[in-house]
Amino acid sequence: MSEQNYYEILEVYPAANQEEIETAYRMLLYKYHPDHNPERADWAHLMTSKVVEAFQCLSDPEKRKLHNFQIYCPVKSRVPERGFFFFQKKQKKQWEGARAQFGAGLALFSRQKSKALSKFREAVLQWPKFPEALYNIGLCLVDLRKFEDARTYFKKVKAVNPKDPEIQRTLRRLDALARK
């Protein structure tokens, strides 16, 4: 699944029905077709393939639900700074190692979900209360369609940050995604 917003590619609203999606698809195929853009054939081919990919995703109800989840629950990439005192040298090393694993997971996230998942898990092993890594583990598991495992990790995030309203929204979206 791509990290792009397919609604933007098809130039439709997320609430668009199937007929509106099909109409936009046909119009954009005509607009971007290489025969209509001979001076920019490579660009036209690229745009046509993006439109086809977007249509294939949004016309399938299951893929569309997953895409909606990915749009509204994006990967956590920013980690707040943590201060350490002079006597907390061991903890600082653990935190730095966890951040390094987290960064490696981010680098792999869009291309290789399973490898990113293992990097985020390594970060959590080094720093167990790392909410951003726990959240991203949940996102990887959603992509791998392991919804119950993902729910477990999102609940761990909620335990670490109980007042975070975003995690409540994520859990509601996961419940909607998991319903068939």
Measured CA to CA, the distance from residue 120 to residue 101 in angstroms comes to: 6
Measured CA to CA, the distance from residue 49 to residue 44 in angstroms comes to: 9
pLDDT tens readout for residues 143-176: 999 999 999 999 999 999 888 889 999 999 999 8
Measured CA to CA, the distance from residue 174 to residue 125 in angstroms comes to: 25
> Does 169 lie in the same domain as 124?
yes
CATH of the domain at 129: 1.25.40.10
Phi, psi of 2 (to 5 degrees): -80, 160
pLDDT tens readout for residues 120-145: 999 999 999 999 999 999 999 999 99
Phi-psi region of 11 (alpha: psi -120 to 50; beta: other; left: phi over 0): left
| Residue 170 belongs to a domain | yes
pLDDT band at 43 (very low <50, low <70, confident <90, very high): very high
pLDDT tens readout for residues 60-109: 999 999 999 988 888 999 988 877 776 788 888 999 999 999 999 999 99
Burial of residue 174, with CB atoms counted within 10 A of its CB: 0-12 exposed, 13-18 middle, 19 or more buried: buried
Is residue 2 over pLDDT 60?
no
Q: What is the pTM of this model?
A: 0.83
Measured CA to CA, the distance from residue 115 to residue 162 in angstroms comes to: 29
> Does 57 lie in the same domain as 25?
yes
pLDDT tens readout for residues 16-37: 999 999 999 999 999 999 888 8
> Does 97 lie in the same domain as 50?
no
pLDDT tens readout for residues 48-59: 999 999 999 999
- For residue 1, what pLDDT is reported? 45
Total domain count, the chain:
2
**Listed residues 39, 71, 103: the one ending a domain:** 71
> Does 47 lie in the same domain as 100?
no
The encoded tokens of residue 74 equal 């994006």
CA atoms lying within 13 Å on the CB side of residue 87: 0
> Does 126 lie in the same domain as 164?
yes
The residue assigned the tokens 């995030």 is 157
| Residue 142 belongs to a domain | yes
| Residue 56 belongs to a domain | yes
> Does 161 lie in the same domain as 108?
yes
Residue 53 belongs to domain spanning: 6-71
Q: Is 77 helix (H, G, I), strand (E, B) or coil?
A: coil
**Listed residues 71, 96, 125: the one ending a domain:** 71
> Does 63 lie in the same domain as 108?
no
CATH of the domain at 11: 1.10.287.110
- For residue 164, what pLDDT is reported? 85
Q: What's the average model confidence in pLDDT over 6-15?
A: 94
